[in-house]
Amino acid sequence: MNATPTPDEQDIKSALEQLSRDERNWMPKEINQWAMYPRKTSSSPLPESLKIEVTTKANELIENVLKPKYIQPPPENPQFNYSFEVKFARMQYAGNRRFHLSYMRHTGQWIQIYTDLTVDECIESVRDDPYFTI
């Protein structure tokens, strides 16, 4: 077998070297200032004290606001199950004691509408905003 590369092999080799040089000098595209780029969620775990605070305030919202507003007493002669659990709000931890708040669209897709809210702001939004009506 011939140890010297053929002209075609040399062209391929030089093209690959040029490609690797281009990858090293690659610059990201200019960011469109008018486009929405949502902040990424934090990969850090939720602190235990914050988890307890969120759970306490969410349970308080459920018991004092949502259940009285949406749960009806069972019918006298029930033919079917009358009460269902529905997912309608989601809080994602964004780091630094802040959350992104999303609602469930009728298509089953989560739509993020708020970013970087505190726990109290999230609870207030779920309680008052029309996106979170069931």
Q: Is 59 helix (H, G, I), strand (E, B) or coil?
A: helix
Amino acid at site 27: M
Distance separating alpha carbons of residues 57 and 129, to the nearest angstrom: 17
Mean pLDDT computed over 73-94: 82
Are the C-beta atoms of 78 and 27 separated by less than 8 Å? no
| pTM of the predicted model over 0.85 | no
Specify the pLDDT at position 29: 57
Helices (H), 1-134: 7-24, 48-61, 67-70, 119-128
Mean pLDDT computed over 43-66: 91
Helices (H), 25-117: 48-61, 67-70
